[in-house]
Chain A
């Protein structure tokens, strides 16, 4: 589902985000991306969501070579990749419902279908009773779950999360991770960047450790 062939990313400032990463994530797989800050975790996720383009090597997502994807096709690619951020990236002048509905509105879905899907997504993250609230009135954990509902509402095959539990206490973090495990069980390919090594270890999933833009260790490399 996701493949990196000797991928490097050098920023215009000269900083090297990645310096030759090889990676293969099968469809339906779930993996964690760990490493110190600056090791390249965020860069790797950005390359998958095409927030950045690789300066060398090839990135494949859902059988598409992202190097060959035209700029005008990027929006369509992003509809297949749900993204979750540490700072949630919610719009505070809109209700929870409207925030979660955005990917569907953008894709031009009908009103009734949007309502049904948003409700279903909010139900999955346990926030159905908050659909009319503004995000600011929710706790950090709840806001993150709104972000997750938004990433999932269009049922993308790939889900990326950058430090989704970065600001949460251990209990809430575990809750969030268990949500991800549930989604993985229904076939979503998930890649999560996190600092939380203890939590990751306890979940028993594949762990890819980055160090200075390279893969240092990978518990589940296929070949």
Chain B
């Protein structure tokens, strides 16, 4: 029978928050110090991260700009009024005239049934097939351009509804089609950029993970000795996590610099292009949302990458 041992004393754990904070500060500074001791390799890794983040961010901003552009052009829309089939050309012209007199209308143009047919024949390529029809199924159309004061999407919509109230008008359609298409394209691209961003975020995670893995290998003997003299896993993990964090932060700064440089390089040509359309357009360089997303997201990715690497490789290093 084994003799009774006295009760084991409790291990003393350091739980002083001030010491804890101090140690984190020291670790953070020390990790930055280690990175600056190898400026070239640090910069190269950070640059890869920066480019990987700058790519989707820049595209996102570009698309944002296109969408704001389509927003400002939404006013340049027109309304198509489809007239009742039974109307004669003369009656149609009368309607056009009436509408043209409204002060919320800048211009009203008539496309007669024949005109519509000719255009359709020309554009559709159904020329011969259309000859088989015994009568023209197309209605006459009045194209209405709202006056400048009534060119907003809302006012245009209201005008269209009023015009639809006319007995002779079967249907009024606001032609926002191309604006909508542009918007739809922008949305599609945005989704693409989202996928790209997710892929590149994964790449950043892997880059940092791999960098930290190499760092762990280089410092294997140190880790073993720290384990031998009673270093906790948290103690060993901490410097690597801070390195990941710094890589992410430096990468974020590089990414922001790249995006700003690229967009400001585009600003001149964009202004010239807008000038050609007799319009003015300011390129949005960096929204505060995107700025914060890069500045917070990248270090978080860095931390996560380091965490994955440390978690995987630290357990394998066991002193013997």
Min CB–CB distance B218 → chain A (angstroms): 10
Q: Which residues of A contact B19 (CB under 8 A)?
A: 108
Q: Which residues of A contact B5 (CB under 8 A)?
A: 3, 60, 63, 65
Tell me how many residues of B have a C-beta within 8 Å of chain A.
28
Contact mask for chain A residues 38-64; partner B; CB cutoff 8 A; 1 contact, 0 none: 000000001001010000001010111
Is A78 part of the binding interface, using a Cβ–Cβ cutoff of 8 Å? yes
Contact mask for chain A residues 58-80; partner B; CB cutoff 8 A; 1 contact, 0 none: 10101111000000110111110
| Cβ < 8 Å to A, chain B residues 92-113 | none
Contact mask for chain B residues 192-230; partner A; CB cutoff 8 A; 1 contact, 0 none: 000000000000000000000000000001101111111
Q: Is the CB of A75 within 8 A of B230?
A: yes
Is B162 part of the binding interface, using a Cβ–Cβ cutoff of 8 Å? no
A106 to B235, CA, bound (A): 7
Q: Is the CB of B230 within 8 A of A103?
A: yes
Known A-B contacts A64-B8, A106-B235, A108-B14; the reply to A78 vs B228 at CB < 8 A is yes
- Chain A residue at smallest Cβ distance from B2: A5
Q: Is the CB of B11 within 8 A of A89?
A: no
Q: Is the CB of A63 within 8 A of B9?
A: yes
Known A-B contacts A5-B2, A51-B319, A108-B19; the reply to A78 vs B229 at CB < 8 A is yes
Q: Is the CB of A79 within 8 A of B229?
A: yes
Contact mask for chain A residues 96-110; partner B; CB cutoff 8 A; 1 contact, 0 none: 000000110011100
Is A9 part of the binding interface, using a Cβ–Cβ cutoff of 8 Å? no
Contact mask for chain B residues 39-77; partner A; CB cutoff 8 A; 1 contact, 0 none: 000000000000000000000000000000000000000
Q: Which residues of A contact B90 (CB under 8 A)?
A: none
| Cβ < 8 Å to A, chain B residues 2-16 | 2, 5-9, 11-14
A76 to B23, CA, bound (A): 18
A–B complex contacts, Cβ < 8 Å, 30 sampled: A3-B2, A5-B2, A51-B320, A62-B8, A63-B7, A63-B9, A64-B8, A72-B233, A73-B11, A75-B232, A75-B235, A76-B11, A76-B12, A76-B232, A77-B230, A78-B227, A78-B228, A78-B229, A79-B229, A89-B224, A89-B225, A91-B222, A102-B225, A106-B226, A106-B230, A106-B231, A106-B232, A106-B235, A108-B23, A154-B229
